């Protein structure tokens, strides 16, 4: 791996002659050669001056009341305090991310109850909210500053390309449970909203860097300034190089390296108007190992090669206030994605427009409504045996939502009802209603309940997949083949939840949630009738497996989060989740694979954290995790631990050493990849 004119580069792997059917029409498209180094030169040219904004509050210096009253926006699409939200909301703060030692957004999610994070290999994760963890987490909607990063081709989120300078993240808001009423389709089991700081909050210069055994090297630089009285800006660049995971069956293959840069501006155009514009570009490579079918002996091969990943996005948001009773917001974004995997290529362009208006009708009733439109232009190519029909498609999504909030007893009792109405190209018109109540009988006690319906709409892989042929063999050779179904309908959930938040002691905060979900029309894989296929290659039989909706079931569980300020310098956090998923096939189903999703999520998860501010400006932070066994993934239960030691030198410098996955030399967290290794890295953070 080197850094040249084209940015990050990696050696290419020679292809065998029988793989000459490699995608050609789009493969010659140049990957954007934009890396963190380019912006670093620009930032270095900026004049140095003292930082004018606070670095962000130390978690141990915040009172429990301040934590309970953390401002959130994901539940109601408006600012409100966490303790007054009628939803299972959890907030991961910027300081929690810093003190966890996490180097990726995906790893930071381990801090939340009800969220399963399992490393598949060094650059991929299986993530689930209330179960159904998978490579792309198809039942979870992920947003970054209001920009959806859900991929409509394979249904889900590619976490390896979701990145930013972690020090720019203000908080991560996680809704466990349906969020379709306000956020639309695919928010079935949850919404993850990653919110970055405004440019006003990131003034002055900042640099970070380090390296170690697994996190071999990482670095980032940022500079923020002001033009005039009301226009703030920042620019950043970052990059990293992660070592491959432990592969017990062969050589390493999944090393990962990426460079990214971006900017943000925030302009207070008038006392009523504010405009924010931000964007990012990235390019990188992630190692992959992909089994591929070939239609002549030996009938299979394994491609070991880097995937090329690159993209860019641009987002603009205008807000206007009409006083305390009314405001509106208009947001538009564009997103470009280029992904060249060993066996497949996707180029996607997305344009999205979103309008929202909030107004208070009376002192006790407030309405939020909005409209939206999205257009995805998706272009694909695959090697022989991997094909979409049509290969290219434009996907259109229209949506409208409304939510009405009634405060029946001021500061005591509130009722909220609403729904989203959407139209997509595959399943047509969808409705996702919800109702919520919140009761605060006394200070420090909050009770709430909710019922909601949400859907995961069909993606191209269910509707347009012409074939993914799996390596086979035998005499005559037989090849399994997965195909889509144009009659596939939306997966559906009806969710019931109750929650209780209490502050029983001045230094203790407890958040308890229980839930029951009923699922219908879940994805199943149904075997079809084998048929002969004379070409390509030697004559062979194909055993088709067709995507259908012949699975249903339910899940239920309990989620507990507790925060205790033991002393002024020591804080303890704990998060526990119990989950049970029971899936059943419809009477006409012959599927014997899909119900394995119930065994891919742990019944029990427990995370305990200790954060200490020690004398001489030292910090000692420990995280211990217990994860129950995953029967269908052949992963046993395990305990793991991370430890971070840091020292601050005034307000300008912080040095840290982080040990990760310390309980095992290496262990598996999910099937289909490599094992997670014990690692240690050192790092610094410097402000000027």
pLDDT tier for residue 63 given thresholds of 50, 70 and 90: low
Query: What is the domain partition of the chain in residue ranges?
Result: 2-687
Is pLDDT above 80 for 445?
yes
Is pLDDT above 90 for 16?
no
What is the pTM assigned to this prediction?
0.91
Averaged confidence pLDDT in the chain? 90
In the prediction, which pLDDT does 589 show?
A: 96
**DSSP label at 42?**
H
Strand partners, 605: 577, 627
Is pLDDT above 90 for 143?
yes
Instruction: Give me the mean pLDDT over the 541-564 stretch.
Output: 97
**Higher per-residue confidence, 517 vs 53:** 517
Q: Which of 24-28, 57-61, 630-634 has the highest mean pLDDT?
A: 630-634
Is pLDDT above 60 for 45?
no
Q: End-to-end CA distance of the chain, in Å?
A: 32
CATH 2.40.170.20 fits 2-687, yes or no: yes
- Contact indicator for 613, 571 with CB cutoff of 8 Å: no
Is pLDDT above 60 for 25?
no
Instruction: Give me the mean pLDDT over the 445-449 stretch.
Output: 96
In the prediction, which pLDDT does 603 show?
A: 97
Is pLDDT above 90 for 632?
yes
Instruction: Give me the mean pLDDT over the 647-660 stretch.
Output: 96
Give the whole-angstrom CA distance, residue 522 versus residue 490.
8
Is pLDDT above 80 for 622?
yes
> Which token pair is 423?
């139209």
What length does the chain have?
688
Is pLDDT above 70 for 664?
yes
Strand partners, 205: 223
In the prediction, which pLDDT does 444 show?
A: 86
* pLDDT tens, position by position, 65-93: 777 778 889 888 888 888 889 999 999 99
In the chain, the percentage of residues whose pLDDT exceeds 70 is 90
Is pLDDT above 90 for 610?
yes
* pLDDT tens, position by position, 171-210: 999 999 999 999 999 999 999 999 999 999 999 999 999 9
Instruction: Give me the mean pLDDT over the 404-431 stretch.
Output: 96
**DSSP label at 12?**
P
pLDDT tier for residue 31 given thresholds of 50, 70 and 90: very low
Query: Residue 20 contacts by C-beta under 8 Å, 6 or more apart in sequence?
Result: none
Q: Is residue 223 packed enough to be buried (19+ CB in 10 Å), middle (13-18) or exposed (0-12)?
A: buried
């Amino acid at each position: 791996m080197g850094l040249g004119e084209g940015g990050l580069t990696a050696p290419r792997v020679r292809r065998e002659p029988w793989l000459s059917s490699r995608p050609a029409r789009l493969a010659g498209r140049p990957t954007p050669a934009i890396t963190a180094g380019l912006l670093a030169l620009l930032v270095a040219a900026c004049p140095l001056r003292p930082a004018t904004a606070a670095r962000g509050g130390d978690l141990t210096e915040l009172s429990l009341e301040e934590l309970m009253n953390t401002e959130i926006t994901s539940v109601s699409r408006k600012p409100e305090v966490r303790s007054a939200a009628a939803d299972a909301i959890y907030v991961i703060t910027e300081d929690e991310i810093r003190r966890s030692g996490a180097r990726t957004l995906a790893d930071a999610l381990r801090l939340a109850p009800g969220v399963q994070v399992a490393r598949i290999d060094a650059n991929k994760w299986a993530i689930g909210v209330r179960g159904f963890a998978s490579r792309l987490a198809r039942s979870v909607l992920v947003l970054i500053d209001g920009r959806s990063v859900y991929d409509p081709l394979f249904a889900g989120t590619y976490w390896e390309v979701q990145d930013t300078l972690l020090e720019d993240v203000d908080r991560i808001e996680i809704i466990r449970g349906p969020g379709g009423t306000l956020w639309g389709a695919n928010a079935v089991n949850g919404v993850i909203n990653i919110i970055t700081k405004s440019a006003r909050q990131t003034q002055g210069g900042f640099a970070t860097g380090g390296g170690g055994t697994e996190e071999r090297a990482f670095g980032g630089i940022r500079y923020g300034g002001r033009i005039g009285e009301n226009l703030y800006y920042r620019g950043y660049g970052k990059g990293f190089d992660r070592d491959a995971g432990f592969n017990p069956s062969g050589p390493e293959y999944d090393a990962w390296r990426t460079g990214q840069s971006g900017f943000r501006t925030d302009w207070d155009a008038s006392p009523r108007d504010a405009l924010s514009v931000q964007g990012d570009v990235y390019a990188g490579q992630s190692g992959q190992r992909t089994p591929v079918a070939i239609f002549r002996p030996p009938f299979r091969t394994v491609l070991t090669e880097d995937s090329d990943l690159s993209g860019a996005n641009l987002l603009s948001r205008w807000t206007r206030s009409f006083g305390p009773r009314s405001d509106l917001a208009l947001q538009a974004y564009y997103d470009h994605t280029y992904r060249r995997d060993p066996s497949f290529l996707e180029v996607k362009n997305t344009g999205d427009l979103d309008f929202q208006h909030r107004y208070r009708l009376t002192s006790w009733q407030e309405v939020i409504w909005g409209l939206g439109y999205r257009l995805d232009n998706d272009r694909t190519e695959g090697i022989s045996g991997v094909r979409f029909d049509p290969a290219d498609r434009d996907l259109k999504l229209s949506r409208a939502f409304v939510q009405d909030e009634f405060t029946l007893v001021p500061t005591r009792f509130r009722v909220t009802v609403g729904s989203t109405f959407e139209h997509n190209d595959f399943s047509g018109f969808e409705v996702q209603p919800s109702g919520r109540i919140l009761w605060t009988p006394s200070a420090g006690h909050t009770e709430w309940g909710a019922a909601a319906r949400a859907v995961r709409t069909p993606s191209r892989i269910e509707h347009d997949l012409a074939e993914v042929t799996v390596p086979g063999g035998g005499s005559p050779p037989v090849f399994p083949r997965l195909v889509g179904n144009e009659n596939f309908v939306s997966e559906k959930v009806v969710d019931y939840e109750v929650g209780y938040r209490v502050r029983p002691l001045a230094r203790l905060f407890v958040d308890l949630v229980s839930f029951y979900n009923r699922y219908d029309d879940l994805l199943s894989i149904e075997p079809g009738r084998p048929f002969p296929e004379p070409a390509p290659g030697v004559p062979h039989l194909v055993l088709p497996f067709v995507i259908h909706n012949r699975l249903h079931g339910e899940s239920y569980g309990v989620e507990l989060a507790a925060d205790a300020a033991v002393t002024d310098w020591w804080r303890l956090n704990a998060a526990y989740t119990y989950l049970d998923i029971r899936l059943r096939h419809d009477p006409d189903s012959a599927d014997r694979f899909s119900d394995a999703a119930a065994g891919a999520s742990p019944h029990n998860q427990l995370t305990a954290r200790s954060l200490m501010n020690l004398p001489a400006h030292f910090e000692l932070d420990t995280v211990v995790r217990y994860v129950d066994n995953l029967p269908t993934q052949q992963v046993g239960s395990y305990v793991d631990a991370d430890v971070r030691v840091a020292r601050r030198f005034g307000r300008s410098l912080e040095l840290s050493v982080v040990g990760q996955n310390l309980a095992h030399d290496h262990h598996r967290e999910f099937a289909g990849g490599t094992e997670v290794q014990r690692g240690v890295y050192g790092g610094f953070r410097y402000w000027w």
